[in-house]
Amino acid sequence: MNSHLHGTPRRATWLWATLIVATLLTWGMGASGATGRGAIAILAAISFWKGAVIILDFMALRHAPLLWRVVTLGWMIVVWAVIAIAYIKGLPQ
């Protein structure tokens, strides 16, 4: 396996561990009843970062042609935009 294109096992392990920590952090925030726009922004940022790590590193698209990265990351941005719009529209005026 070409480590330049696919990363190293050490990097994959480190990223996997940080994804686990991020998941536990977001779960903890939800379980503790964290509310408010700040908490939502933190949760959204963490989940967006997790999605980018999965797409770029675990789907091995970090060194893929630009089109593939644009399509996959663009799709994630579109999904998050729809979620953000739904959240903002649901806020009390």
Q: What is the pTM of this model?
A: 0.85
Q: How many domains does the chain have?
A: 1
In this structure, what token pair is assigned to residue 47? 């989940």
**DSSP states along 57-84:** IIS--TTS-HHHHHHHHHHHHHHHHHHH
- The residues near 29 (Cβ < 8 Å, ≥ 6 apart) are 39, 42, 43
29-48 confidence digits (pLDDT tens) = 999 998 888 999 999 999 99
Per-residue confidence band for 3, with pLDDT thresholds at 50, 70 and 90: low
d(CA 46, CA 58): 17
- Domain that includes residue 40, residue range: 3-90
Question: What does the pLDDT read at residue 5?
Answer: 63
- The residues near 56 (Cβ < 8 Å, ≥ 6 apart) are 62, 69, 73
Please, are residues 61 and 69 in contact by the beta-carbon 8 Å criterion?
A: yes
